[in-house]
Structure 1
Amino acid sequence: MKSIKVVTIGGGSSYTPELVEGFIKRYESFPLSELWLVDIEEGREKLEIVGALAKRMVEEAKLPIKVVLTTDRREALVDADYVTTQMRVGQLDARIKDERIPIKHGIIGQETNGAGGMFKAFRTIPVILDIVKDIQELCPKAWLINFTNPAGMVTEAVLRYTDFKRVIGLCNVPYGLKNSIAHALDVPINDVSLEISGVNHHIFVTDAFVKGESVLERVIEHQMEKSEEALQMNNFSAETYSPHFIKGLGYLPCPYHNYYYFTQEQLDSELEEYKEGRVRGEVVKKLEDELFELYKDVELKVKPKQLEKRGGAYYSDAACDLIDSIHNNKQDIQYVNVRNNGAIRNISDNSAVEIACVITNDGPKPITVGELDPRINGTIQTIKSFEQMVCEAAMTGNRELAIYALSINPLCSSARVAELVVDEMLEAHKEYLPQFN
């Protein structure tokens, strides 16, 4: 049997035990031989802590999986079959700046949306493209599975600025939506499939099926009846949609739409937290410190329950299901970020979209959605235009384009504020933004 090698870049992430657990659960269908966990020198301590836990988990499962820890990315990538990326350029301190600087100027600071998402993309895209170059040289047949946020913009940049085709962006939001619908209808999750339309963190469930039969009306009715049940995730508080709004929309929004449909409420909440001297990144930093203290315990041999508070629930299922399906040509339906190729008629073919795909050993095959309904087309087009300009600015270091891109984002209150925020964040992050210097 051919050995299978997976390389995880950002291996010192607190999410890594989720991934390890996913591979352990699927060993029978995906007999992983080697898991290489890669990180940078600044992340060595966390890499060693989480790597030791990964080894204990594998040993506890009594599986012959070799776990290798390294800070040498090129050494790790040689002959890899799958490469996963889950990194944070600038670490959590950069995230805290992404959140604090915009809110100081009266606009939302959020990890993947608006100004915060834009600057995370500026720091991340050049690094991802360097990784792609190494993959093309050292393991050209490998699939790149990117979890790194903003996943849609990272995928867009790889598709638009390289000739590498074997890239898939991954997010746990669609999986969470599918799970919520299965729970609402009291049916097994494997009986549920979705039609989703949009871009990463800006998708709508435009149809839902149970055993192939459309149940969208039931889903909408349930959401209207249970309007007190907010569509939310662990990493932010969500407002409750009114039944009238849901009926008017006619589709199911994703949790991140809270930032766009309840902008003022979200801003007020963030301003309150800011006045109290904290932002979400600081909460996460404290939670991560607690997680890594747990990870140090030599008696810990499984993923701790506390990891679910990090907002990354279902990553192991989403990521490992995807890799397992590619490897075994399962031809099941999963929800990923890929080249559009005509699946959504209103969006250019070479753009990244988040959509339902049939997963084959030749990669994801998008399921055609057709033309977007006017009820969702405008907001999706605005975010897609924003994404494309952000990718161009990340590649060129064009400050003026960055200002304009932020100005059109619905989370930005004015062009004047956009310029102030961009300039302050360029200065704050200059260590990680050589293209702008």
Structure 2
Amino acid sequence: MSFKIAIIGAGSVGFTKKLFTDILCVPEFRDVEFALTDLSERNLQMIKSILDRVVEFNRLPTKVTAMTDRRAALEGARYIISCVRVGGLEAYADDIRIPLKYGIDQCVGDTICAGGILYGQRNIPVILDFCKDILEVAEPGAKFLNYANPMAMNTWAAIEYGRVDTVGLCHGVQHGADQIAEVLGAKSRTELDYVCSGINHQTWFIDLRLNGRKIGKDELVAAFEVHPVYSQQEKLRIDVLKRFGVYSTESNGHLSEYLPWYRKRPDEITRWIDMSDWIHGETGGYLRYSTETRNWFETEFPQFLESAARPIDPAKRSNEHASHILEALETNRVYRGHFNVKNNGIITNLPQDAIVESPGFVDRFGINMASGITLPEACAATCISSINVQRMSVHAAISGDIDLLKLAVLHDPLVGAVSTPEEVWQMVDEMVVAQARWLPQYADAVPAAKERLSKSRIKTREWAGAARRDVRSIEELRAEKTALKQAV
């Protein structure tokens, strides 16, 4: 088979390499063309060097091109994969830093909450540019696979306003299933069957079967509470399981941001999180991790390039959905996964215009979603709170209405638990001014926001957060990796 795959934001080097090698695990895809595009010429050349090494070592006919001209990269593409971070780590740092001045402590800040909403405002205009190019120059009927966060907002904008055939992809369901299989003593995840449904980063395992036997709440709670690692790392997640009756797909740190109960007071934050790794609730944890990962890659690039000279091993193909979706669409080998699409009857007790994450099957006819699923009421209530925020955020990003943006932030569960309306209004002004270069739709609103900030009397504080860690140096990271190898 010969067709073209364009990857936007391909400078996300590690993830791009994973997608690339996963796709080449499919024998029929040896002749595929990959067109890489990114704003950074330097990052593009680094990832192209790595992928060229993979192709050369495995003696494949696969073609890899790299260009900063996005439209040229999309020309004739059948599949377009996006993993962009608009504004990079510079804007992301503001997503964490500015809300902290108002007492809002985020672990990740890329889905909802103050950081995730502003992240969506930066991404959505760019997503619509992608869609315009896809409709004009990509292969007719091209499919857009969005990996970029905020997943629901980006996918909502691409479907509703971009009018492109779009599916949002995430790996949270797979990771959650791995945990459940482990605590229940399964030899592999294949022994576990499940229905997992909700919205991205708030999906719920509403039916669990281990080798055909139904697993109830009490058994699952007991299994997590005796696990030597997860009982400490997932304290908040286990508490939600006890109260809601079902397990959430999302990590301890992520889940804590979407609820109004666990991160609203510093003493409560430290009670519910675990500092053994960033993903369990550390303040700005993903920002620190992303910064260290970038610094490590740039310093250790020769090692990454050398390690690319290895055989592609289908046994090590990851559980990221992209390669499996493409395989099913092109070969009719059916794939079951969990996908982000417009609701339209898939989940009965969530709004029909929302982007939901739910089970589906892929074959030559496309992505076929199971419909008629009903969530437990508590799960639906939590999801609806986020959906209302997402909807307002998308509409604000499209219209450039700063008042609607402020209302979206005000209605965010965690923001509302921490901040007053006056603080929210000022915080949004401050974030829009700080990120103005990535927010073209708010250009007319920026002067007035600056004027309001110059006259404001609302007090803020310089606060690192309840559980902040410093970014580690390359030397510290190298020493840690050496120690881990020695321990093994």
TM-score (structure 2 length as normaliser): 0.78
Specify the alignment match of 2:68 in structure 1: 71
> Which of 358-367 and 78-87 deviates more?
358-367
Quote the offset at 1:18 in angstroms: 1.5
Structure 2 CA distance for aligned equivalents of residues 371 and 98 of structure 1: 34
> Which of 249-258 and 210-219 deviates more?
210-219
Specify the alignment match of 1:308 in structure 2: none
Please tell me whether residue 388 in structure 1 is matched to residue 386 in structure 2: no
8 Å contact kept, 2:333–2:363: yes
Specify the alignment match of 2:91 in structure 1: 94
8 Å contact kept, 1:176–1:314: no
Specify the alignment match of 1:118 in structure 2: 117
Structure-2 change in CA distance of 1:326 and 1:223 (3 Å): farther
Please tell me whether residue 355 in structure 1 is matched to residue 362 in structure 2: no
Task: State how 1:174-253 maps to structure 2 within 5 Å.
Answer: 174-185=173-184, 186-210=186-210, 214-217=214-217, 218-226=219-227, 229=230, 239-241=234-236, 245-253=240-248
Structure-2 change in CA distance of 1:97 and 1:224 (3 Å): same
Please tell me whether residue 435 in structure 1 is matched to residue 446 in structure 2: no
8 Å contact kept, 1:208–1:214: yes
Q: State the one-letter code of the partner of 2:223.
A: H
Structure-2 change in CA distance of 1:324 and 1:292 (3 Å): farther
Structure-2 change in CA distance of 1:209 and 1:344 (3 Å): same
**What's the secondary structure of 1:263's corresponding residue?**
coil
Please tell me whether residue 399 in structure 1 is matched to residue 386 in structure 2: no
Structure 1 CA distance for aligned equivalents of residues 256 and 283 of structure 2: 23
**Residues 56-108 of structure 1, C-alpha deviation per residue, up to 9 Å, x if partnerless?**
12222222211111111111112211110001111111111111111121113
Please tell me whether residue 60 in structure 1 is matched to residue 57 in structure 2: yes
8 Å contact kept, 1:159–1:350: no
Structure-2 change in CA distance of 1:112 and 1:157 (3 Å): same
8 Å contact kept, 1:112–1:150: yes
Quote the offset at 1:207 in angstroms: 1.4
Specify the alignment match of 1:281 in structure 2: 287
Structure 1 CA distance for aligned equivalents of residues 283 and 206 of structure 2: 40
Please tell me whether residue 144 in structure 1 is matched to residue 141 in structure 2: no
Structure 2 CA distance for aligned equivalents of residues 100 and 428 of structure 1: 11
Structure 2 CA distance for aligned equivalents of residues 208 and 58 of structure 1: 41
**Residues 364-403 of structure 1, C-alpha deviation per residue, up to 9 Å, x if partnerless?**
2222253322221211100011000000000001111111
8 Å contact kept, 1:6–1:32: no
Quote the offset at 1:421 in angstroms: 1.5
Quote the offset at 1:220 in angstroms: 4.3
> Which of 182-191 and 313-322 deviates more?
313-322
> Which of 342-351 and 80-89 deviates more?
342-351
Task: State how 1:231-380 maps to structure 2 within 5 Å.
Answer: 239-241=234-236, 245-253=240-248, 254-255=250-251, 256-259=254-257, 260=259, 261-264=261-264, 268=269, 280-297=286-303, 298-301=305-308, 317-380=320-383
8 Å contact kept, 2:205–2:246: yes
Structure 2 CA distance for aligned equivalents of residues 344 and 180 of structure 1: 25
**What's the secondary structure of 1:350's corresponding residue?**
coil
Structure-2 change in CA distance of 1:242 and 1:113 (3 Å): closer
**Residues 161-205 of structure 1, C-alpha deviation per residue, up to 9 Å, x if partnerless?**
2332x2000111112112222323314323434312221112211
Please tell me whether residue 44 in structure 1 is matched to residue 45 in structure 2: no
Structure 1 CA distance for aligned equivalents of residues 398 and 427 of structure 2: 20
Structure 1 CA distance for aligned equivalents of residues 191 and 33 of structure 2: 33
Q: State the one-letter code of the partner of 2:96.
A: E
Structure-2 change in CA distance of 1:326 and 1:293 (3 Å): farther
Structure 2 CA distance for aligned equivalents of residues 11 and 287 of structure 1: 16
Specify the alignment match of 1:307 in structure 2: none
Please tell me whether residue 127 in structure 1 is matched to residue 126 in structure 2: yes
8 Å contact kept, 2:26–2:327: no
**What's the secondary structure of 1:355's corresponding residue?**
strand
> Which of 321-330 and 71-80 deviates more?
321-330
Q: State the one-letter code of the partner of 2:159.
A: L
**What's the secondary structure of 1:197's corresponding residue?**
strand
TM-score (structure 1 length as normaliser): 0.87
Structure 2 CA distance for aligned equivalents of residues 278 and 160 of structure 1: 32
8 Å contact kept, 2:432–2:439: yes
Percent identical among aligned pairs is 27
Structure 1 CA distance for aligned equivalents of residues 284 and 158 of structure 2: 34
8 Å contact kept, 1:53–1:296: no
Structure 2 CA distance for aligned equivalents of residues 133 and 315 of structure 1: 31
Q: State the one-letter code of the partner of 1:145.
A: L
Q: What RMSD in Å do the two structures reach over aligned CA positions?
A: 2.8
Specify the alignment match of 2:476 in structure 1: none
Quote the offset at 1:268 in angstroms: 4.7
Specify the alignment match of 2:16 in structure 1: 16
Structure-2 change in CA distance of 1:431 and 1:60 (3 Å): same
> Which of 183-192 and 408-417 deviates more?
183-192
Structure 2 CA distance for aligned equivalents of residues 364 and 3 of structure 1: 21
Larger Rg: 2
